[in-house]
Every structure is written in C-alpha cells, then in structure tokens.
Amino acid sequence: MSIPASITRLSAFWRSLRPPNLLIAFLAVHTGAVLAMGGQALLSAHVWVAALSCACALAAGNLWNDLADEKLDRIAHSERALPSGALRRKQVWIAASLFAALAASLALLLPFAPGVFVLACLLILASYAFLLVKIPGIANLVVAALCGASLLLGALVRGSLRAAWDVAFLAFVLSMSRELLKDAQDMDADQRVGRKSLAALLDKRELSQVGALFLVQAPLYAIGYGLFAERSVPERVALLFCAGVGVLLLWDLLRGGGPVKERLAALIHRLRLAMLMGVLSFLIAALVGDLL
C-alpha cells in the first residue's frame, strides 16, 4: 500500500525542520532565563516568546541551509527533502520565509535588547546559509556561536548575560566539535561540489583530530567550573555530569574501530543527544538550586 504524497511531503518537511535541534534551542532559552532569574522565569511571557522566536529563527535557518546545500545533499544526504524530490525549492522558500517572518514578529514583542538579539541571529542565519558557509572555518564558528546564543538570549531577557555565559561557552565547544565532525563526514561531497570547507584544507583524520581538540575542552572546562565556579551545588553537579558525558564522547571518538563514516555519523548523533541532556541538566539544576 503506497503512502499518500501529502503524507510524504509533510514527513519530509518535518525532518527538514530538524525537530531535535529546535527542541534544544527552545529549552536552551528557558535554561538561560532560569539561570538568570530562577524558577520565576518559567512564568515570564517574554521568556516563552523569546524561546518560540528562537525556535522559529532556527527553523528558517535549517530550511535556508537545505536550499543552499541542495547540490551537496544530492551526494551526501540523498534522503533529504530536496534531493529526494519530496519537496520543491519554491515550497521550501515559502516555508523558510514564513518562519523568518514569524521569528521577526515575535522578536518585536520582546524588550529592545533581546528583540534586537533575535533579529541579529536571524540575519546571521541567512548570511550563514548563502555566504558564510563558503568560508572555511568561519561557518563552523558561526553555527557553534549561535548554539550558545540561545542560552544567552534567555539570560538577556532578564538583562544578565553573566548568568549564562559559562554554560553558553560549554554549548559552543560541544557544537563546534559536532560541526567539525560533520565536515569530516561530508568531506567527499564537499570536494565533489567544490565547496571550500575545512575539508578542503584538512584530510578526514586531521579534521577529526581538530574536532577532538574542541571536544576535550568540554570536560576540562566543565570540571573546572564544577569545582571552582560560584554556582549552586545542583549547578555544579550538572557541570560535572556534562564533564562525564564529554569524557565518554571523547573516548568514543578516539577509540577507533569500524568504518569511519558510520562512526562519525553515530558520534554526531550522540553529540546532539549530549547537548540536549546538558541543557536539561542545567535547567533542572537551576530550578532545584532556586528551591534550596
């Protein structure tokens, strides 16, 4: 029995949005806000609007990225919506524009600083997809910085970036490692379409080593802050938990064995899971710390 075309298109569109990434961004805004203002942040309308705006901006960015990467995806990710033919470029353009307009509209409901912050991130996402992605290394830094920015946005709603900058840096380090490993995974496709990513400058082993260099910073940084930072006990426990996860991921990257492409794909998936676990652990820790 064949699946109706409308269901196929809807499924392809849903996958193009990268729901796990949207969930991480949505929760990260709440985590940043709770770190800055305690449990009362969950009752703040501005925090929820900021989280929705952030998720919509990221959805637009993901769709723009699919449009910019269509040639590469025909080689490296043929199952995605555009190369598989499940969606047409016009449909993706319309959806991306609607999400971008919704993100901008929600940003206008925020106080001046977080509103401008969201609009700036939206502009950077568009620039990344069609311009910055062509610059080796810069594209990776931009994506990693935007990952940490969702935590800072939540704190900025309260006007206290200091409350979340250290956790945002930890998110940046994990995201940077993930982006480098994704470059290693897509190296062959990058070279075939002539994209000048870091894959054009390094071989797969060297790129994986650079990813490991970033990944090793995560447990070291988390352990340092977990032991010495002026954080509540639950937040220190969350930092040490992230350190343990980082050590396991680093061991998984360095231990070798099995086909490289499959190992990279598995590790990239685990890094995203680790980021979700990290955001949740800090959200729970901040709430518990607020009650103690």
* pLDDT tens, residue by residue, 42-83: 889 999 999 999 999 999 999 998 998 888 788 878 888 898
Q: Check: CB of residue 1 under 8 Å from CB of residue 66.
A: no
For 4, phi then psi, to 5°, come to -55, 145
Lowest-pLDDT choice from 115-124, 239-248, 277-286: 239-248
- Which candidate, 32, 19, 24, places its Cα nearest to that of 282? 32
Distance from the Cα of residue 5 to its chain's centroid: 30
Higher local confidence (pLDDT), 38 or 101: 101
Euclidean distance between CA atoms 108 and 88, whole angstroms: 31
- Per the model's pLDDT, the better-predicted residue between 191 and 43 turns out to be 43
Q: What average pLDDT does the chain have? A: 83
Could you read off the pLDDT of 135-180 as tens digits, one per residue? 766 777 888 899 999 999 999 998 788 888 888 988 888 888 888 7
Name the token pair of 108: 């206008």
Residue 236 has pLDDT above 70, yes or no: yes
Residue among 22, 42, 20, 21 nearest 31 (CA): 42
pTM of the model: 0.88
DSSP per position, 158-195: HT-GGGTHHHHHHHHHHHHHHHHHHHHHTHHHHHHHT-
Check residue 3 and report its DSSP letter: P
Query: CB-hemisphere CA count at 13 Å for 36?
Result: 27
Predicted pLDDT of residue 47: 96
